[in-house]
Amino acid sequence: MKDLDYYLNLPYEIIIKKLDEKDGGGYFARYKDFPYIMGDGENEIEALKDLKEAFKGALEVMLEKGDYIKEPIDNEAKIRINITLP
């Protein structure tokens, strides 16, 4: 069975953006596959730490409830399709 450590160690893509001063400044971070899980901070490191803490909490709840947890797609994976034409 896949546990918390399994999901925490998957290579999910993280997006970090610098916020404008009019939006309060600092940085905003989120997972591409989980846009509803977010973190923020005065710098990139704080935003990333906040995001990872929020992600861990969300995973704990999802695992407890037995919810489906999306895994990252391997963009490097190649698919081979054989097609036979008449």
Does a structural domain hold residue 77? no
78 found inside a domain: no
Structural domains counted in the chain: 1
- The model's pTM: 0.79
Q: Which domain holds residue 33?
A: 4-65
Q: Is residue 31 part of a domain?
A: yes
How far is residue 54's CA from residue 68's CA, in Å, rounded to a whole number? 17
CATH classification at residue 11: 3.30.160
Question: What residues contact residue 4 under an 8 Å CB cut-off, 6+ apart?
Answer: 56, 59, 60, 63
Cα distances from 72 to residues 9, 29, 32, 81, 82, in angstroms, run: 11, 17, 9, 22, 26
51's CB contacts (< 8 A; 6+ apart) are 14, 29, 30, 31, 37, 38, 39
Per-residue model confidence as pLDDT tens digits over 19-78:
999 988 999 999 999 999 999 999 999 999 999 999 999 999 999 999 999 999 866 655
